[in-house]
Structure 1
Amino acid sequence: MSALLEIRDLNAWYGASQALHGVTLSVAPGEVLALVGRNGSGRSTLARAIMGLVRSEGELRFAGRPLAGLRTFEIARLGVGYVAEHRDVFAALSVHENLLLGIASNAVQRARGRAPRFTLDDAYALFPVLAERRRTRAGALSGGEQQMLALARALLGDPDLLLIDEPGEGLASLVMQQVAASLQLLRERGVAMLLIEQRLVIARAIASRVAVMGHGEIVFDGMLDAFVERADVMYEWLGVG
């Protein structure tokens, strides 16, 4: 099966500081790849590079199309969703208005004649608190509620690939379970994911492959079962004994 996302020899910089060093990675259609590593290892930078948010050099292709030179909204319209670590909801808009923006962003997919795989009813059913607070300004939500809103908005864009950065960070156990359930639903509907985690709390339930980043490089890439048997990798790159 050909890759949906192809990354080859990718370097990226923040100003003069190089953050990624020759990253090569791929995600197949419908695959869930967990990208793990310590803080500062380059995981978030990789997601930003895919979305055109940092200066990078190397090969980036989505569904066979080069991403170099495209602006972020153009990459999103190709079918790449992105949930950043800091959620980035539209604080002055209501919950419902934020979700409507997600629906508006999938107009290109609808124009191709494909029915959306994730609807507004799905969003409210999966995250009942969003239905209860649909008229509340997003800026007044708790951190966990904002995470749910950012995720639901991205899903309503009907992506073929979802980049999601630390979905469980700072969330209570019950909220984390709801987030994991939403990702499970999306996987069942054929959406590929690059799931960025420091730990494997959510990844263990839905990922089939694991890639480990260290110092801006991929230091391990293999199936989940093989990864959990590599105590040396977990200790050196994740600090897990």
Structure 2
Amino acid sequence: MTALLAMRDLCAWYGASQVLHGVNLHIEAGEAVALAGRNGSGRSTLAKAIMGFVRTRGVIEFAGRSLTGRRAFEIARLGIGYVPEQRDVFPTLSVRENLQLGLKPRGMRRAPRVTLDDAFALFPALRERARTKAGALSGGEQQMLSVARALLGDPDLVVIDEPTEGLAGQVVEQLAAALKLLRERGVAMLLIEQRLVIADRLASRVAVMGHGEIVFDGPLDLFRHRPDVMHEWLGVG
């Protein structure tokens, strides 16, 4: 069976600087994969490569279609949601306007897995601040907004880069609940976390990056019994 997302011998560059050195990784439909690694290992670059933000060589396929050469909005319309580490909300637009930008064009819509009402139920703070400009939100509220906007695009796969970084415990729990809802509704997930704060509650598989390559890829239970991997590539142990 063809994987939902498949990367083979994937290399990527920022200018003349090569960051990814032959990444091989796949994600099946409905599967959640945690991507771990130290800062500078290439995790965020891999996310940007999937979304078409960096120069690449090699194979990136989604649902059997090549993503090479496609622009970010085209990739999003194919069914990939992206939550960047920097959140990237539109600061001069209201919360509601930011969320509406996440909706697919009318002609492309099916019955959505997550509705605007779902998003407000998951993140009550967004409902309360629906008319507030996104630039006036706290960091945690902006992260909620970024995640909710990605969900409203009705993706088959969502790529989430460091969703819990710098957030209070209560906000982390809300994010975990939102991502759990996604999993229950069949959305696949690439969850990038250095410390696996919530990934171990959501993912069935862990991939670890080091020096721009995948150095471990296996079930979560196996990862937990590999202190050598944790110590060498994550600095844990």
TM-score normalised according to structure 1 size:
0.97
Where structure 1 has 5 or more consecutive residues not aligned to the other structure, the ranges are: none
Instruction: Output the amino acid matched with 1:69.
Output: G
Q: Structure 2 matches for 1:98-117, cutoff 5 A?
A: 98-103=98-103, 105=104, 107=106, 109-110=108-109, 114-117=110-113
How far the C-alpha of 1:107 sits from its partner, in A, is 3.6
- 2:33 maps to what in 1? 33
Residue number in structure 1 paired with 2:162: 166
Report the equivalent of 2:181: 185
Q: Matches of 2:105 and 2:58 in 1, distance apart? A: 28
Q: Match of 2:140?
A: 144
In structure 1, the residue matched to 2:205 is 209
Amino acid at match of 1:145: E
Equivalent pair of 1:106/1:157 in contact (CA under 8 Å): no
Q: Show the counterpart of 1:24.
A: 24
Matched, 1:90 2:90: yes
TM superposition shift of 1:145: 0.3
Alignment correspondent of 2:9: 9
CA RMSD of aligned residues (A): 0.8
How far residue 201 of structure 1 moved from its aligned partner, in angstroms, is: 1.1
Equivalent residues of 2:2, 2:64 under 8 A apart = no
Superposed CA deviations along residues 43-72 of structure 1, whole A, max 9, x for unmatched, are 000000010000010000000001111111
Q: Structure 2: where are the runs of 5+ without partners? A: none
CA–CA separation in structure 2 for the residues paired with 1:43 and 1:210:
13
Q: Distance in 1 between matches of 2:171 and 2:107?
A: 31
Q: CA deviation at 1:109?
A: 3.9
Residue pair 1:12, 1:57 contacting (<8 A) in 2 also: yes
- 2:190 partner letter: L
Runs of 4+ with deviation above 2 angstroms: 105-109
For the structure 1 residues 107 and 238, does the alpha-carbon distance in structure 2 shift closer, same or farther, using more than 3 Å as the test? farther
Post-superposition offset of 1:30: 0.2
* Offset, 1:106: 5.2
Secondary structure of the equivalent of 1:75? helix
Question: What aligned pairs does 1:25-64 form with structure 2 within 5 A after superposition?
Answer: 25-64=25-64
SS at match of 2:146: helix
TM superposition shift of 1:12 = 0.3
- Percent of pairs with identical residues: 73
Alpha-carbon distance in structure 2 between the residues aligned to 1:124 and 1:61: 33
> 1:82 & 1:106 partners in 2: Cα distance?
17
Counterpart-to-counterpart distance in 2, 1:132 and 1:205: 28
Tell me the secondary structure at the aligned position of residue 165 of structure 2: coil
Please list the CA deviations of residues 169-215 of structure 1 after superposition, one character each: whole Å capped at 9, or x if unmatched: 00000000000000000000000000000011110100000000001
Distance in 1 (alpha carbons) for counterparts of 2:186 and 2:59 = 25
Residue equivalent to 1:126:
122
User: How far, CA to CA, are the matches of 1:100 and 1:49 in structure 2?
Assistant: 26
Contact 1:106 1:158 in 2 (8 A): no
Q: In 1, Cα distance between the equivalents of 2:66 and 2:56?
A: 13
